[in-house]
């Protein structure tokens, strides 16, 4: 089977990603370009006897790169040299888009022009003579509708034919003056126009030639070439496009009048964000509960039943039940939440609202030294840090990405709320005030971190704000579900492997040396005792507290159950008879109920996610109340707020920004958590212990 | 006058672009070139929302200051 490497190139927002989605279906992969934090989307399609590998290049206006994503696209075209380029053009903006087409043609790589959104163009009075365009350039010109997927399948046979016939575009002709100059640079017969231009602009050999052109034409050579390209693109446009004067009312203009209103735009944004949160939490909460029940009440007993039937040793059974179910199963419960957040985010992105948020909120964010686009990931952090960190991919510069990534973990998520409500209710008269103050402290530390980073590592001036706002479009459900599936699969696979490894490690700490009965004798207990002096200045010298933090590294709310085990030193074991079919039926009914509840939740006016429930058992309550003081409890909450005690967050940071960043940040968060915990303990002691 | 001084709703023609920033090349590639008609839709904070042909472009005021219009 032959393989064809195809690059999708085009300006930003022309619908490349939608076309790739329609072409590759669920065979789509998301990842990062090596060495940079730019998202890479790839797809593989089997067609006839060929394997077509599609790569979605970052959207660029020109092949003169400035930012990281522009360099990625440039390097791919110039160095990796794809077998074929699909040049996607957003037909309503064809004149602008043709500049990139001209630049791509300089590389003399087989190319197909894809006129996307011709229906929108027609409404704007733009008609393209594609046959004439095809003849002028010597390339195939096809029409698609990226939104619905119309015309996309025809691309595949055309790709194969162009590849087989080695159809090369006609040689691009600039003005006679420029062509003559380029011939002077030519040293070999087969040099492409792009190579000639690069030599003319950069080679030491042609310095004199450059000087003479400059004095002759009164401009830098670079500008001469740029002007020629613009002229070529403009000329092409005039040749192939017929414009009819139409005064159709544009839906985008009308919507922008409301959504980008100088006064009402911002309250509307906050309302939409509130709805996003409400929907994602209220809809996913019953489903998450169901997944938890499914894992603990069905998968776990089914596996241990199967293992004991196979006659596997007791410790293998426990490893599976506790490490696999406790670690990986726990992460699985977050899948509904992550899926719903991705769905709503994708809806916001593909509809065209997300870029507008950046424009709308930039006036506040840039005062803090951040780009307007940074706000969305930060807000998402209050929901769950993991998808929030993934959302930083939308930011353009590495500096902005790293800055925002270092802020997100301080945005308090619902997992922390579970722990806060346990301690706040137990120790304080006004738990709501304490919890609210903790949220504020998190935000404060986030901005403090950003300030520190800006003063040290990520200095420099703020990037100019330049971006395009695409027209509003309603994406199809099929497209949205595909995007969500790609992300969820990625989350399950990559995070799942790391989380399983870490769960096994922590389980071993709790269960070694072999035959250990009491948590205090285990390795974890010994480590807990060894590190307890570190926590003494926070008023947390009890080894049971420091030990409970070890399993809590998986996720913060585990701290409650691990405290339960360590304080009460009893591992409760439910022995219920397990009947496979019976249990399966129960799970199916449970799923139906959860789905029903999820839908009902959407229509409740008040978010159910903020209802504070009492956590933990009564006996644990009294045991903990006896063992620490209110000031220590406050210090403990502050520590857990700021320290990134969440394997999911560390794992996704590792993937997005690298090992060094993730581990340094983890150490930093420990330090910050300890420092603020220490202050909290000191201040608390002055207030409550006198 | 320069583009920063234009009022929302006004339509102007670009006379020239100046500035050292290489980002200017990107702005040009986005369609803000000499001779083009541009209408200013909105000003929010440090940014301007422009309509050029059928696309909507946001640029910050520091860039707009270097764009001479009429």
Chain A: closest CA distance from residue B59 (Å): 5
Instruction: Indicate the pairing of strand B67-69 with strand B11-17.
Output: antiparallel
Please tell me if residue B11 touches chain A, with a CB cutoff of 8 Å.
Answer: no
Tokens of residue A240, six digits: 């192939």
Please report which helix (H) or strand (E) contains residue A128, including its range: strand A126-128
CATH number of A2-165: 3.40.50.300
Q: Using CA atoms, how far apart are residues A550 and A553, in angstroms rounded to an integer? A: 6
Taking contacts as CB-CB distances below 8 angstroms, the residues of chain B near A362 are: 44-47
Q: How many CB pairs under 8 A join A and B?
A: 97
Q: Using CA atoms, how far apart are residues A9 and A31, in angstroms rounded to an integer? A: 18
Residue A563: pLDDT band by 50, 70, 90 thresholds?
Answer: confident
More confident residue, A678 or A618: A678
Contact by Cβ (8 Å): B57, A93: no
Contact B29 A61 (CB under 8 A): yes
Contact A363 B44 (CB under 8 A): yes
- Beginning with the edge strand found earlier in the chain, give each strand of the sheet holding A2-10 in spatial order: A28-32, A39-47, A50-56, A2-10, A84-90, A111-116, A140-144
Q: Using CA atoms, how far apart are residues A412 and A602, in angstroms rounded to an integer? A: 23
Contact B44 A359 (CB under 8 A): yes
CB neighbourhood size of A283 (10 A)? 23
Contact A469 B56 (CB under 8 A): yes
Please tell me if residue B36 touches chain A, with a CB cutoff of 8 Å.
Answer: no
Q: Using CA atoms, how far apart are residues A36 and A656, in angstroms rounded to an integer? A: 9
Residue A418: pLDDT band by 50, 70, 90 thresholds?
Answer: confident
Taking contacts as CB-CB distances below 8 angstroms, the residues of chain B near A228 are: none
pTM of the model: 0.79
Task: Give this complex's ipTM.
Answer: 0.93
Listed by start position, the domains of chain A span 2-165, 269-574+612-688
pLDDT at A577: 66
Report pLDDT digits (tens) over A307-337: 888 877 777 777 777 777 766 776 677 788 7
Optimal mutation site among A201, A469, A471, interface B, most CBs of chain B within 10 A = A469
Q: Which residues of A470-493 are buried (b: 16+ CB within 10 A; e: fewer)?
A: bbbbebbeebbebbbebbbebbee
Taking contacts as CB-CB distances below 8 angstroms, the residues of chain B near A256 are: 41-42, 49, 56
Contact by Cβ (8 Å): A376, A391: yes
Contact A465 B59 (CB under 8 A): yes
pLDDT surpasses 60 at A369: yes
pLDDT surpasses 50 at A187: yes
Q: What is the mean pLDDT of chain A?
A: 85
Of A62, A95, A469, the CB nearest to B25: A62
Report pLDDT digits (tens) over A640-677: 999 988 888 898 898 888 889 999 999 999 999 999 99
Report pLDDT digits (tens) over A119-137: 889 888 899 999 999 999 9
Give the residue carrying structure tokens 């072409």: A23
Optimal mutation site among B42, B58, B62, B64, interface A, most CBs of chain A within 10 A = B58
Of A95, A96, A262, the CB nearest to B42: A262
The least confident of A382-396, A536-550, A625-639, A675-689 is: A382-396
User: Mean pLDDT over residues A95-112, rounded?
Assistant: 95
User: How far is C-alpha A380 from the geometric centre of its chain's CA atoms?
Assistant: 11
Taking contacts as CB-CB distances below 8 angstroms, the residues of chain A near B20 are: none
Residue A570: pLDDT band by 50, 70, 90 thresholds?
Answer: very low
Taking contacts as CB-CB distances below 8 angstroms, the residues of chain B near A125 are: none
Chain B: closest CA distance from residue A252 (Å): 10
Chain A: closest CA distance from residue B11 (Å): 15
Q: Where are the beta strands (DSSP E) in A192-249?
A: 241-243
Residues in chain A: 690
Please tell me if residue B53 touches chain A, with a CB cutoff of 8 Å.
Answer: yes
Report pLDDT digits (tens) over B24-47: 888 888 989 888 999 999 888 889
* Pick from A394, A461, A381, A405: nearest CA to A668: A405
Please tell me if residue B63 touches chain A, with a CB cutoff of 8 Å.
Answer: yes
Please tell me if residue B22 touches chain A, with a CB cutoff of 8 Å.
Answer: yes
Residue A69: pLDDT band by 50, 70, 90 thresholds?
Answer: confident
Q: How many domains would you assign to chain B? A: 1
pLDDT surpasses 80 at A618: no
**Which structural domain range is residue B16 located in?**
3-69
Instruction: Indicate the pairing of strand A2-10 with strand A50-56.
Output: parallel
Residue B59: CATH number of its domain: 2.30.30.90
Chain A: closest CA distance from residue B46 (Å): 6
């Amino acid at each position: 089977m032959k393989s064809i490497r195809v690059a999708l190139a085009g300006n930003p927002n022309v619908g490349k990603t939608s076309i790739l989605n329609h072409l590759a279906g669920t065979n789509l992969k998301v990842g990062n370009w090596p060495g940079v934090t730019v998202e890479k989307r790839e797809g593989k399609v089997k067609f006839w006897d060929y394997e077509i590998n599609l790569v979605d290049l970052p959207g660029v206006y020109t092949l003169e790169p400035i930012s990281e994503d522009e360099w990625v696209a440039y390097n791919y075209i110039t160095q990796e040299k794809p077998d074929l380029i699909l040049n996607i053009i957003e037909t309503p903006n064809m004149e602008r888009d043709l500049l990139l087409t001209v630049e791509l043609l300089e590389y003399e790589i087989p190319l197909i022009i894809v006129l996307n959104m011709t229906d929108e163009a027609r409404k704007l009075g733009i008609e393209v003579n594609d046959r004439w365009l095809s003849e002028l350039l010597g390339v195939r010109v096809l029409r698609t509708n990226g939104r619905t997927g119309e015309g996309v399948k025809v691309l595949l046979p055309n790709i194969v034919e162009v590849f087989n016939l080695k159809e090369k575009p006609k040689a691009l002709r600039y003005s006679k003056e420029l062509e003559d100059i380029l011939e002077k640079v030519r040293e070999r017969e087969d040099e492409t126009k792009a190579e000639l231009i690069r030599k003319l602009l950069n080679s030491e050999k042609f310095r004199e030639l450059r000087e003479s052109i400059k004095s002759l034409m009164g401009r830098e050579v670079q500008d001469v070439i740029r002007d020629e390209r613009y002229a070529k693109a403009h000329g092409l446009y005039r040749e192939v496009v017929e414009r009819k004067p139409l005064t159709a009312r544009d839906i985008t203009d009308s919507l922008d009048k409301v959504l980008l209103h100088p006064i009402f735009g911002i309250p509307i944004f906050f309302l939409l964000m509130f709805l996003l949160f409400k929907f994602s939490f209220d809809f996913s909460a019953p489903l998450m509960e169901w997944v938890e029940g499914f894992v603990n009440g069905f998968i776990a007993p089914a596996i241990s039943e199967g293992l004991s039937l196979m006659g596997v040793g007791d410790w293998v059974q426990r490893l599976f039940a506790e490490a696999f179910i406790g670690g990986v199963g726990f992460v699985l419960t977050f899948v509904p939440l992550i899926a719903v957040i991705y769905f709503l985010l994708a809806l916001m992105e593909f509809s065209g609202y997300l870029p507008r948020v950046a424009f709308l909120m930039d006036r506040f964010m840039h005062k803090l030294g951040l780009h307007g686009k940074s706000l969305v990931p930060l807000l998402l952090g209050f929901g769950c840090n993991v998808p929030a960190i993934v959302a930083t991919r939308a930011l353009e510069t590495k500096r902005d990405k790293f800055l925002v990534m270092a802020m997100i973990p301080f945005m308090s998520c619902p997992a922390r709320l579970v722990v806060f409500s346990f301690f706040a209710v137990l120790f304080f008269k006004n738990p709501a005030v304490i919890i609210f103050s903790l949220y504020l402290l998190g935000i404060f530390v986030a901005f403090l971190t950003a300030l520190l980073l800006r003063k040290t590592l990520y200095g420099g001036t703020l990037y100019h704000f330049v971006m395009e706002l695409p027209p509003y479009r309603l994406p199809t459900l099929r497209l949205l579900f595909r995007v969500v599936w790609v992300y969820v699969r990625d989350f399950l696979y990559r995070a799942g492997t790391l989380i399983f490894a870490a769960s096994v490690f922590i389980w071993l700490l709790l269960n070694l040396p072999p035959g250990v009965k009491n948590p205090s004798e285990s390795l974890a207990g010994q480590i807990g005792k060894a590190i307890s002096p570190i926590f003494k200045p926070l008023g947390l010298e009890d080894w049971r507290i420091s030990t409970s933090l070890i399993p809590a590294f998986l996720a913060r709310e585990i701290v409650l159950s691990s405290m339960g085990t360590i304080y009460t030193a009893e591992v409760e074991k439910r022995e219920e008879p397990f009947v496979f079919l019976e249990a399966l039926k129960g799970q199916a009914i449970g799923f139906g109920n959860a789905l029903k509840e999820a839908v009902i939740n959407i229509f409740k006016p008040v978010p159910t996610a903020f209802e504070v429930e009492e956590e933990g058992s009564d006996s644990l309550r009294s045991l903990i109340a006896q063992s620490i003081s209110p000031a220590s409890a406050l210090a403990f909450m502050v520590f857990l707020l700021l320290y990134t005690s969440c394997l999911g967050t560390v794992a996704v940071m590792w993937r997005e920004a690298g090992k060094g960043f993730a581990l340094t940040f983890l150490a930093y968060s420990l330090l910050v958590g300890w420092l603020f915990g220490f202050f909290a303990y000191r201040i608390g002691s002055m207030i409550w212990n006198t | 006058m320069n583009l920063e001084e234009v009022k929302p709703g006004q339509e102007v023609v670009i006379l020239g672009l100046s500035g050292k920033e290489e980002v200017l090349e990107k702005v040009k590639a986005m369609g803000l070139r000499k001779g083009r008609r541009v209408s200013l839709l909105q000003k929010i904070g440090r940014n301007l929302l422009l309509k050029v042909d059928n696309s909507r472009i946001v640029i910050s005021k520091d860039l707009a200051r270097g764009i001479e219009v009429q």
